[in-house]
Amino acid sequence: MTVSTVPKVRIALIAHDKKKDEILAVASDYVDVLRQCQLVATGTTGGRIATELGLDIERMLSGPHGGDLQIGAQLAEGRVDMVLFLRDPMTPQPHEPDINALVRACDVHNVPCATNSATARLLLEQLIVRLAAQPAA
């Protein structure tokens, strides 16, 4: 008899420099649910979350060095279920085309994408409800 298992939700975590403390605060508040997920992040963001919260995270390059594009490629392949991308709208980003491409890929592939902490918290709250409704394995 084969036991079917529900695959873990794969969440991408990304934050611009001025939003790194904010994504850490969100991740800290939802650390229990994030432990139940597969996590991928851009380099510096992933490093800080792994170090400060002890979460297991697959780290890509930093955003300006192609990390946003690496996550976008995984998303296009169906390997990312949710993106939490805390953007700094007040600071010009040298890799703005990569950022826009990632957000556009979320729209094209119908992947939930939070670009601020309020929306990130809403998505994570909904994830808690969804996980609680799954039958025990």
Is 58 contained in some domain?
yes
Is 119 contained in some domain?
yes
Instruction: Give the residue among 59, 64, 57 at the shortest CA–CA distance from 16.
Output: 64
> Residue 23: which CATH number?
3.40.50.1380
Name residues whose C-beta falls within 8 Å of residue 123's C-beta, 6 or more positions apart in sequence.
Answer: 82, 84, 112, 114
Digit-by-digit pLDDT tens for the chain (137 residues) are 455 466 899 999 999 999 999 999 999 999 999 999 999 999 999 999 999 999 999 999 999 999 999 999 999 999 999 999 999 999 988 888 888 999 999 999 999 999 999 999 999 999 999 999 988 66
Is 3 contained in some domain?
no
Is 77 contained in some domain?
yes
Residue 40 to residue 37: CA distance in whole angstroms = 10
Write down the pTM of the prediction.
0.92
Active site amino acids: 68
19 carries a ligand binding annotation: no
65 carries a ligand binding annotation: no
42 carries a ligand binding annotation: yes
Give me the number of domains the chain comprises.
1
What is the domain extent for residue 72?
Answer: 16-133
The SS3 of residue 58 is: strand
**6, 134 contact by CB (below 8 A):** yes
